[in-house]
Structure 1
Amino acid sequence: MSEAFYTDKSRVRAAFERAAPSYDSAAVLQREVSDRMAARLDYIKFSPKVILDAGSGTGYGSAELRRRYPEARVIELDLAATMLLASREKQQTGGGLLGKLFKRAQPWQLCADVECLPLADASVDMIWSNLAIQWVNIPDGVFAEFQRVLKPEGMLMFSTLGPDTLFELRQSFAGVDGATHVNQFIDMHDLGDALLKSGFAEPVMDMDKIVLTYPRVRDVMQDLKAIGAHNATAGRGRGLMGKHSWQKVEAAYELRRQDGALPATYEVVYGHAWKGETKKKANLLPDGRQVIEFMKPGERPGVK
């Protein structure tokens, strides 16, 4: 991956800080992917006591984890403090028993970088990370941190975006200028290799394509801005795009209109793995290398 496509972490943080007030109204994809991740937990027998939600945003996934594992302590961690504040405000204003309990005990929240976790070694039973690690340029560092803080036999479950994400927008910008306009994401197979390199056992990877539709190209861009996901690459342009260039982008994207709407495709990559020795000896090659299991569409973890 060219350095021009590396994301600027300070820009990512600033974008999410600004996006917190508008995030929930636009985060349709994030909620859908979180629900699909949660459904995968139905097929995994596991009772974690401490769960880290790495890249927790405004707390949608954390709420599901608390519902699913009521005895567990869920730690919300995000790069943007305003996202954590938004989650806290939602919980404080929540009704019922959860709201009453919350008023007596503040949530465990950490404003920190997933590549430098402020947690002790072997302190977490499960790490959940929904659409967060795509902002990391090289996955080895974040997987090494996940490996460090997980307890033996702890589980990592994550989702991220693959390289076909927003290909319509990327191709529409192609040829307009020499700048990068759309973030570039890491291939599923490279993520699987990074998991093995970091010492994770029994990694399982699969992928979905989710297509959102919009009436105008500007609506695509506005949604990305609302969730803090607009261009954060090092090779981005430093000035505003001219009217003529933008018209070329719109014209190119318009060629993709179907049934009155413009598609925006997201390649969503799911993965889970365990900290510890590989249990399934059949997954080892004769030379000792481990085999990554890639699930077919419709399959579920542990179900054949």
Structure 2
Amino acid sequence: MGAVTELVNKQAVADAFSRAAISYENAAQLQRDVGEELLALAAPYLKDAGNLVVDAGCGTGYFSRHWKAQGKKVIALDLSSGMLDRARELDSADEYVPGDIERLPFADNSVDICFSNLAVQWCNALPRALEEMHRVTRNGGLVLFSTLAEGSLNELAAAWMKVDGRRHVNQFLTPDKIAEACAPYRHEVTFSDHVAEFPDVMSLMRSLKGIGATHIKNGRLGGLGGRERLQLLEKHYVRRDGILPLNYRLVYGILQVEELIPR
């Protein structure tokens, strides 16, 4: 999670995702696509990985339901009470636990798979998040995570800079920093780019708001902005063939849990 340069206001994050809980299931196509790719990359490792799964940052439980359908026992964990409530309404897991990935409320070596899809970028320190997920996973188990790297949302940040000289977009860790956070563990990290396309700024901003991913600054979450500001944003956003592109620099991590590599 140390994907941002400022300390993250965890309550503000939780509140934003709680507000988005109802719309999230329909808005979160990117999250589903990324999670499916993470599972595909992890498939060779999953045969003997065990039965107890923690879905850390479960959202509305889409992947909790996937694991449950595979016959796993699933613990759904999220910082947002609204997301957990929605996951419970959808019968997503066997247990529902409020919690922070940087302070997981589980014993050492107590789960078989710790799965976290596009959640650790909301943490203050990615090394801490990985350390916690590794701690609670037994030897022979797996930590599977996806996140965003530097280069994500750059088109939006550039347009905002032209409007008022501010990014209005969280800054994400460089690939080198992400690799460094994984270095103590036996790991495989894959990077790829995904470009989403939108007809206008309003639909782009609503897509971010619909999944709770609005910008955090000084402990407050940014809204859509006033009409005039959005018109300026539309004016300065660089189009490609008439479409507004928005790049996501995606990271997929697989940690095979065993004794730590000596430094």
TM-score scaled by length of structure 1: 0.78
Instruction: Classify the secondary structure of the residue corresponding to 1:38.
Output: helix
Against the structure 1 CA distance between its residues 262 and 179, is the aligned structure 2 distance closer, same or farther, given a 3 Å change threshold? closer
The 5-angstrom pairing of residues 26-105 of structure 1 reads 26-44=27-45, 45-68=47-70, 70=71, 72-91=72-91
Against the structure 1 CA distance between its residues 266 and 229, is the aligned structure 2 distance closer, same or farther, given a 3 Å change threshold? same
Shift of 1:164: 1.0
Paired position in structure 1 for 2:204? 220
Percent of residue pairs identical: 38
On the 8 A contact 2:12/2:219 being kept in 1, the answer is no
Q: 2:123 aligns with which of 136, 139, 150?
A: 136
Is 2:263 the partner of 1:263? no
1-structure distance, mates of 2:212, 2:222: 18
2-structure distance, mates of 1:12, 1:36: 25
On the 8 A contact 1:162/1:187 being kept in 2, the answer is yes
Paired position in structure 2 for 1:100? none
1-structure distance, mates of 2:104, 2:155: 35
2-structure distance, mates of 1:20, 1:228: 8
1-structure distance, mates of 2:19, 2:126: 25
Against the structure 1 CA distance between its residues 2 and 12, is the aligned structure 2 distance closer, same or farther, given a 3 Å change threshold? closer
Q: CA RMSD in A?
A: 2.5
Q: Where does structure 2 lack aligned partners over 5 or more consecutive residues?
A: none
Give the residue type in structure 2 aligned to 1:112. G
Against the structure 1 CA distance between its residues 41 and 203, is the aligned structure 2 distance closer, same or farther, given a 3 Å change threshold? closer
Please give the per-residue CA displacement for 1:42-83, whole angstroms capped at 9, x wherever unaligned. 222333121111001111111112223x1x311100011111
Shift of 1:207: 1.1
On the 8 A contact 2:202/2:230 being kept in 1, the answer is no
Q: Where does structure 1 lack aligned partners over 5 or more consecutive residues?
A: 93-105, 279-283, 290-304
On the 8 A contact 2:12/2:221 being kept in 1, the answer is no
Against the structure 1 CA distance between its residues 249 and 132, is the aligned structure 2 distance closer, same or farther, given a 3 Å change threshold? same
1-structure distance, mates of 2:222, 2:37: 37
Please give the per-residue CA displacement for 1:244-294, whole angstroms capped at 9, x wherever unaligned. 5443321111x3232x3211111110011122137xxxxx9xxx76xxxxx
Instruction: Classify the secondary structure of the residue corresponding to 1:273.
Output: strand
Is 2:103 the partner of 1:116? yes
Instruction: Classify the secondary structure of the residue corresponding to 1:264.
Output: strand
TM-score scaled by length of structure 2: 0.89
Instruction: Classify the secondary structure of the residue corresponding to 2:91.
Output: helix
Against the structure 1 CA distance between its residues 55 and 237, is the aligned structure 2 distance closer, same or farther, given a 3 Å change threshold? closer
Paired position in structure 2 for 1:7? 8
Against the structure 1 CA distance between its residues 249 and 34, is the aligned structure 2 distance closer, same or farther, given a 3 Å change threshold? same
Instruction: Classify the secondary structure of the residue corresponding to 1:229.
Output: coil
Paired position in structure 2 for 1:148? 135
Paired position in structure 2 for 1:248? 232
Against the structure 1 CA distance between its residues 155 and 10, is the aligned structure 2 distance closer, same or farther, given a 3 Å change threshold? same
2-structure distance, mates of 1:37, 1:121: 24
Against the structure 1 CA distance between its residues 180 and 248, is the aligned structure 2 distance closer, same or farther, given a 3 Å change threshold? same
Against the structure 1 CA distance between its residues 121 and 235, is the aligned structure 2 distance closer, same or farther, given a 3 Å change threshold? closer
On the 8 A contact 1:4/1:235 being kept in 2, the answer is no
Report the number of matched residues.
261
Give the residue type in structure 2 aligned to 1:183. N
1-structure distance, mates of 2:108, 2:65: 25
On the 8 A contact 1:5/1:180 being kept in 2, the answer is no
